[in-house]
Amino acid sequence: MARGKLPIFDRYAEDGRLLGYQVKIRKRGWPAVTRQFDRKADAERFAIATLRDMDAGSWVDRREAERMTLVEALDTYAAEVTINKKGAPQELRRIERWKAHKLAKSSMAAIRRTDVAAYRDERLKEVGPNSVRLELALLSHVFTIAIKEWGLGVENPVRAIRMPKLPQGRDRRLAGDEEKRLLDAAAKGPHWLRPLLVLAIETAMRLGELVALEWGNVNLADRTATLEDTKNGERRVVPLSPAAVKVLEGLPRNIGGAVFGITTNQVEKAFSSAREAAEIQGLHFHDLRHEATSRLVARGNLGIVEISAITGHKTLAMLKRYTHPDPKELAAKLAAPAPGTAPAAKRGRPRKAAVGGEVVPMRGNTE
């Protein structure tokens, strides 16, 4: 029988035992909703909340979300979304990581913010914060796609938690005569190593971008190199400095069209050997990108937007992580007079000119 005004009915076994309670909601303009509960309080709570949301026009059908597990959502996401991404192999590994976790057996509707927060804290004991951020970002996008494209009636639990704080970016730059020592050592290695290192320092290109560079995308007359395949998936045109142009002019043209015709593994091995030969400690190849970006900032004649157009950094925050001005250089700039001003001792000193063999003071323009 119905309990009061709520559409709740007792459920009985054949022998007359009370098994539980069933909610049956039939409301015009909304789909029929039927749900079974063991406890009366749970049935009443569900009925009240559902009827309230229907009256407010905000009720969302969660049945599909309750049927779909996270494993099923991840598999669908991999087939529909991940497969089209440039970084698909890496993301597929993260998907497998999620599928192996106990949360993967839960329905999409059952995953709460506390579950995701617990996963975050658990993983931070095993891997670095950036790895955890990438895993959480994947889960967040799965929920976003599920809500927007699959029509699941759920909320994104990842948005309700704190993301792990990233450590301070590496600030390793070439110090003292390290650049000379590194390039001298590189000159004794494969013929392509020294030119590649010079280009890395002059252009701020990533290793993958340098390896993928082809002659068809290099315009020495315009002094530009077009990168069709960048990390963020966007095309980028990189201006070439005179030193970069000189390096490219001195390289032989490969029949295959690639500027270097090598792999990232070959570069990493050769770079490691040159670094050891130069007796340089703690330098990674990617630090050359940091070095190049910092030098672009130190030039002083390029704006942040112009620098980001050269380096491909998507946000100011990311650009700042990879830019490390030398404090000594900044102190020297602070000590120098600002552009357009003269030292205080010389300000106001009358100018002089030679007139008829005599030096006479010149009056300033009073207009």
Which residue among the candidates 223, 231, 246, 321 is catalytic per the annotation? Answer: 231
Report the sign of the C-alpha dihedral through residues 253, 254, 256, 258, in that order. negative
**Which listed residue (94, 123, 275, 289) is catalytic?**
289
Pair 23, 39: CB distance under 8 Å: no
Catalytic residue among 206, 236, 275, 324: 206
Tell me the sheet residues that pair with 239: 224
Tell me the backbone φ, ψ of residue 327, rounded to 5 degrees. Answer: -55, -35
Q: Which long-range contacts (CB under 8 A, 24 or more apart) does 40-45 make?
A: 40/3, 40/8, 43/6, 43/8, 44/3, 44/6, 44/8
Is 286 a residue of the active site?
Answer: yes
Whether 206 sits among the annotated catalytic residues: the reply is yes
Choice among 223, 286, 320, 321 that is catalytic = 286
Whether 284 sits among the annotated catalytic residues: the reply is no
Dihedral (CA of 89, 90, 91, 94) sign: positive
Tell me whether residue 101 is one of the annotated catalytic residues: no
Task: Please confirm, yes or no, whether 351 is among the known catalytic residues.
Answer: no
DSSP assignment of 309-335: HHH---SHHHHHHT----HHHHHHHHH
Catalytic-role residue among 120, 123, 313, 324: 313
For residue 209, the one-letter residue type is: E
Q: Which of 21, 77, 119, 322 is catalytic?
A: 322
Q: Which residues are catalytic?
A: 206, 231, 286, 289, 313, 322
